[in-house]
Chain A
Amino acid sequence: VRRFAALFDALDTTTSTNAKVDAMLDYFQGVSASDAAWAMYILIGRRLKRVVGPSLLREWLKEEANLPAWLVDETYGSVGDLAETIALLVPGGADAQSLDLSLTEWFNDRILPLSRQSPSGAARQRRIVVADAPL
């Protein structure tokens, strides 16, 4: 998933279309077919439905961030994006082992099973989504 994170950084740190095309060429030439398919899925704006909804994510964020709920809401209002707010308010981020997983492994082994989790798996689920996300 490091390569995908690097691709995202490259796309995010330039306003030049040529530079973005170059970064995508680089990425797609160097990864497996299934990683390329998942990357394409994200880049064209598709979303997995019903894995974890935004209201549940907000709830988890409030617990993980160790801040008053109103302050999390206010920060979210100022940042304007929930995923980014999570990245900014939950320090730590991904461990090296999580980063070594491929994009496909992230989807198949970590993200997709979330929709099938039992309530008892909630704590683990929360750590995966909120704290280990490679943002």
Chain B
Amino acid sequence: MLLLLVLRAHKYTVGKKLHHDARRCAWTSTGDGVSCPVPVSFMPTDDIIRATPKGLYCPPGDFYLDPWQPVERALVTHAHGDHLRAGSARYFVAKPGAALAGHRLPPGAELTAVPYREPLTFGPVTVSFHPAGHILGSAQIRIETGGEVWVFSGDYKRDPDPTCDPFEVVPCDVFISEATFALPAYRWPSAGSVAAEIFTWWQNNRKRGRASVLFAYALGKAQRVLAELMALTDEPVVVHGAVSSLVDIYRAEGIAMLPTVAATPTKAADHQPALILAPPSAAGSPWMRRFGDHRTGFCSGWMRVRGDRRRRGYDRGFVLSDHADWPSLLRTFRETGARRILLTHGHTDSMARYLQEQGVDARALQTQYGAEE
């Protein structure tokens, strides 16, 4: 028993040492308890979360975080397609996002809904879900074992959003963060001012007898627009079928939004003065013909840059993002108190280098999460 304790203590100090020397060499434990340096490329890392071909994996708890290949146990941050993929045996998600996950997975998927902050145990590992402020039910996943706390952010934002619980700062040793908009050009205006721009654009189009077709990601962004516009109007908004089924789930979860009506072919004339919400995939499709004379707009953080706006050929770009902007990323890293930052997707290399120059232990991880918004 005493020997076991000594060995565990030894392993712990070795683990600590590893973080300081990770760039040059690492230490590994041999059978007789003597440590020797080995090149980092051969190092069997004792990180509790590792990037593997199937996804981010936690060996002591034997589960994956947002895996991109089918696995036994998948802990999933939110229901967007690049984070929630079909084929795994069991899924664990935050409770407010369970209905969305169920909607997106094939029928019969085994899904466990876990309330925010409620601890779950996987062997020696304690896990809990915490609000990420990205979309309804989105979560960060806190993983604790051996006195060390890691947090996997999934996607997140710090700006207020009436459709989901606000981001919660979870103190941790290692913070695994997204970096979708990790360049200093990306700073968001307030959602209220963007909603006002959308409303003015809609009213101006209407005065000229034109429909306003607003493209927005069908899950999350579209519902946020419908909720933000409530401050300005109580008029119904016409929605594409892909948006409509998700709006129904949001309503069932108690999220207040503008009334919506389906875009049916028989009501073409009614659509003329309307605001129409559709997924970006509908742009240029035959579905658009029913609206006659119209203007197009797109809601996304990418619209912050004029070149991105012009390339996509929309009349208007509205800067509304469900991701953290540059100042929010830096603020979040600071507030978590993490001594190490790992970056999963987006402008990971720029952010890693910037943090390293500030003396922060940071690096990019290889993952398959997307930068769509």
Query: Which A residues fall within an 8 A CB radius of B?
Result: 12-16, 65, 67-68, 70-71, 74-75, 78-81, 84-85, 88-89, 91
Contact = CB atoms under 8 A, between A and B. Distances in A.
Nearest to B297: A13
Contacts of B350: 71, 74
Contact of B187 (A16, A81, A91): A91
A14 B313 CA distance: 9
B183 A75 contact: yes
B32 interface: no
A13 B314 CA distance: 9
Contact of A84 (B183, B305, B315, B347): B305
A78 B186 CA distance: 11
Interface string B298-320: 00000011110000011110000
A10 B220 CA distance: 29
Highest count of chain A CB atoms <10 Å: which of B295, B305, B307, B314: B305
Given A13-B316, A89-B184, A89-B185, A79 B295 contact: no
A84 B184 contact: no
8 contacts: A14-B295, A15-B313, A74-B183, A85-B185, A88-B184, A88-B187, A88-B304, A91-B187
B182 to A, nearest CB: 10
Contact of A71 (B184, B305, B313, B314): B184
Contacts of A67: 184
Closest 3 CB pairs of A and B: A88-B185, A80-B307, A75-B185
Contacts of A88: 184-185, 187, 304-305
Nearest to A91: B187
Interface string B106-133: 0000000000000000000000000000
A71 B354 CA distance: 8
Interface of B: 183-185, 187, 295, 304-307, 313-316, 347, 350, 353-354, 357
Contacts of A78: 183, 185, 305, 347
A13 B353 CA distance: 35
Contacts of A84: 305-307
Contact of A75 (B184, B313, B316, B357): B184
Contacts of B307: 79-81, 84
A92 B82 CA distance: 36
Contacts of B295: 14, 16
Contacts of B304: 88
A91 to B, nearest CB: 7
B306 A81 contact: yes
Contacts of A68: 354, 357
Contact of A14 (B183, B315, B347): B315
Contacts of B305: 78-80, 84, 88
Contacts of B187: 88, 91
Given A14-B295, A71-B183, 4 more contacts: A71-B354, A78-B305, A80-B305, A91-B187
B258 to A, nearest CB: 23
Contact of A12 (B185, B306, B347): B306
A14 to B, nearest CB: 5
Contacts of A12: 306
Contacts of A89: 184-185
Contacts of B357: 68
Contacts of A71: 183-184, 350, 353-354
B42 to A, nearest CB: 31
A61 B306 CA distance: 19
A67 B357 CA distance: 11
Contacts of B313: 15
Nearest to A78: B183
A13 B354 CA distance: 34
